[in-house]
Structure 1
Amino acid sequence: MKHFFSINQLTNQEIYRIIQNAWKYKKENATVSKQLFAANLFFEPSTRTKMSFIVAERKLGLEVLDFHADSSSLKKGESLYDTVKTFESIGANVAIIRHESDDWINELASGINIPIINAGAGKKEHPTQCLLDLLTIYEEFGTFKNLNIVIVGDIIHSRVAKSNAHALRRLGANVYLSAAPGFEDDSLDFPYVSIDEATQICDVVMLLRIQHERHTENNQHVKYLEQFGLTKERKNKMKKNAIILHPAPINRGVEIDNDLVECDQSRIFKQMNNGVYVRMALLTHVLQEWGIIDENLVKERYSIVG
């Protein structure tokens, strides 16, 4: 694997291996017994993804090279390629990148000699979010086969929807989409259902944030919860063992009733916790694929946690 840009680069076997390693890292402390540097290059705002990568890196013992676009040489006209090449030249061993462009990886596909991990590409892909969602679902059900999973919300602007829909179908789930008019994405070949049908049939309802910053109109949220979101009434019609996911940040009272964010069927904050361990597993996977480390360099130490 040259760079990790898409969930589609992973075989089903590799996905299960990363899930299993992430689960193992939740129970054990693991460190890389070699000095390595990780560069976190975030060109878009991020809380969960950036911070969980930092925590994952530090848990593994990696040195973290932080980056702030507003105070970088980008302000002097430096290109994305030259920025990444600079970090490679000063000793970074891996680069984690989030950028607003859908296709920024094309600029870096050749010439960069350290692994790149996609931490969010415009509206196109968010493969590490997909992996943590898969871990959360697998921990709950022990399988993906024949689960009814409905992705609900701003589908057209969601990189989460695109990464998750294809991966879940490949792993055996029945994937449905639900969206307000104008929020559909015709490029995704999955059946659409209403929010009322979605909540009744789902084993997993995966809510998406309305991405106000990507819309040209500013009134999409008006009565959205009542018409297209997860209300208490809709939640009460869900199966008793069905779960609620959301990649966050959450527009409380828009995609989901405020009281449901931490209800008994919500796994939203568990997703965030899982993000640390999935990213630990992915980092070790990629570093091993590149031959930067081998299995013997990942030292595991049992910890009385959980």
Structure 2
Amino acid sequence: MNLQTKKHLLDIDCYSKEEIFQILNDSKIMMEILNRKVKKIPTLRGKTIVTLFYEPSTRTRISFEQAAKILNADVINISIKESSSNKGESLLNTVLTIQSIKADIIIIRHPHSGAPYFLAKNSEVPIINAGDGSHAHPTQSLLDLYTIQNNLGKIENINIVMVGDILYSRVARSNILAFSKLGANITLCGPNTLIPHEFLSNNHLYKNIKFEPSLKKAVKNADVIMPLRIQLERQSTGHLPNLQEYSKQWCITSDIVSISKQDVKILHPGPMNEGIEISSDVAHGPKSLISEQVTNGVAVRMALLYSMLNTEPNMNLEE
């Protein structure tokens, strides 16, 4: 597959259902490469990938960097604290500078929703959205889809329960689009003040989705439970009395997991606040796929970079 006609990845709705499945299929090939003793193929030799993160990141940034290096691309990580942005340079001028050095792709994370869209309109360089404000995180959606399909064998008709801060979570917004597009049944659960009810009212865009205020009822038939971190850094007004009260009602504990299906899987996009939205024994227990998500993220981002940048019709898997 070649997605070079898809110049940018701004949200998961940039891709059709068929294109998503193709990326997931390519990710399986990339996983085989990732598991080799020598993790190096010449597929993107000569390509330059720039990461531009205006917010802290561990998993996403190093995942993209590892993915690019395995594909033999050159990687430039720009530290915002040490860049001219710290001197007042605008986002656009920073990106135009990157464009001028002939970078082949820019991976950006930004605190303002819509920043990648603005750059896509003003840059000749392809843009990958690595998270913008509370709006979108499409590559997280792709790796979550891959993780679910790899473990459950399918996505259609499975029951996914997302618990917690749906309102401010960019992961939740992209995942709801992705899960809905691929036919999963989605249940949102959490404090009413943190549930964006436009998801429930827009049946044309968001299908097979419902709100269940009771955590025990929500997880009863769950195939997948995904707790989400409380996004305190994005909340301008208090939506919760305190985190302790939240934890008492919404934390995914072993008791909650025991209500679900016997083979239920636990996902979390990270970073985790253990003891708040998920207990340590669940996060690191036998039903958890959280570490696998991180590994899968490298393979999925390899597939994405390959599909957007590789000019050869067939994948070169030689070491």
Q: Normalized against structure 2, the TM-score is what?
A: 0.89
Do the aligned residues in 2 keep the contact of 1:56 with 1:279 (CA within 8 Å)? yes
Alpha-carbon spacing, 1:242–1:24, altered in 2? closer, same or farther (3 Å):
same
Aligned partners of 1:198 and 1:205 also within 8 Å: no
- Residue 95 of structure 2 is aligned with which of 84, 102, 105? 84
1:175 aligns with 2:192: no
The aligned counterpart of 2:171 is 160
Q: 2:304 — aligned with what?
A: 282
User: What are the equivalent positions in structure 2 for 1:226-245 lying under 5 Å apart?
Assistant: 226-245=248-267
Partner of 2:210: 191
Q: Residues 192-246 of structure 1, C-alpha deviation per residue, up to 9 Å, x if partnerless?
A: 1121112212101111111121224485312322211212211111211110000
Partners of 1:202 and 1:33 in 2: CA distance: 40
Residues in 2 aligned to 1:198 and 1:268: alpha-carbon distance in whole angstroms: 21
Shift of 1:31: 3.1
> How many Å separate the matches in 2 of 1:273 and 1:33?
20
User: Match for 1:248 among 255, 258, 270?
Assistant: 270
Conserved 8 A contact 2:149-2:155: yes
> Partners in 1 of 2:44 and 2:232 — Cα distance?
44
Query: Whole-Å Cα distance in 1 between the matches of residues 141 and 44 of structure 2?
Result: 28
Paired position in structure 1 for 2:36: none
CA contact (8 A) 1:40 1:95 kept: yes
Aligned to 2:128: 117
SS in 1 for 2:107: strand
SS of equivalent residue, structure 1 residue 176: strand
Report the identity percentage: 39
In the alignment, residue 278 of structure 1 is paired with which amino acid? V
Deviation for aligned residue 1:33: 5.2
After superposition, what is the alpha-carbon deviation per residue over 1:161-209, rounded to whole angstroms, capped at 9, x for unaligned? Answer: 1101121111111111011231111221231112111221210111111
For residue 291 of structure 2, what is the aligned residue in structure 1?
Answer: 269
The answer (yes or no) to whether the contact 1:244–1:268 under 8 Å persists in 2 is yes
1:22 aligns with 27
Alpha-carbon distance change, 154 to 22 in structure 1, aligned in 2, over 3 angstroms = same
> Is residue 43–residue 316 contact of structure 2 (8 Å, CA) maintained in 1?
yes
Aligned residues of 1:153 and 1:180 also touching (Cα < 8 A): yes
**Secondary structure of residue in 1 paired with 2:188:** strand
Could you say which residue in structure 1 is the equivalent of 2:223? 203
State how many pairs are aligned: 297
Q: Which deviates more, 135-144 or 216-225? A: 216-225
Is 1:299 matched with 2:316?
Answer: yes
In 2: Cα distance, 1:33 partner to 1:230 partner: 41
Residue in 2 that maps onto 1:212: 232
> 1:75 deviation in Å?
2.0
- Give the one of 259, 263, 267 matched to 2:281: 259
Whole-angstrom CA distance in 1 between matches of 2:226 and 2:44? 38
Letter in 2 for 1:6: D
Structure 2 partner of 1:97: 108
State the AA in 1 paired with 2:16: T
TM-score by length of 1: 0.93
Distance 1:33 1:126, change over 3 A: closer
Aligned ranges for residues 1-40 of structure 1 at < 5 Å? Answer: 1-28=6-33, 30-32=41-43, 34-40=45-51
2:151 to 140, 155, 165: 140
Listed as ranges, the gaps of 5+ residues in structure 1 are none
The 3-state SS of whatever aligns with 2:167 is helix
The amino acid across from 2:70 in the alignment is K
Answer yes or no: is the 8 Å Cα contact 2:188–2:211 preserved in 1: yes
Instruction: Quote the RMSD (CA, aligned, Å).
Output: 1.5
Q: Is the 8 A contact 2:116 2:128 kept in 1?
A: no
> 128-137 vs 197-206, which deviates more?
197-206
Q: Distance in 1 between matches of 2:290 and 2:22?
A: 23
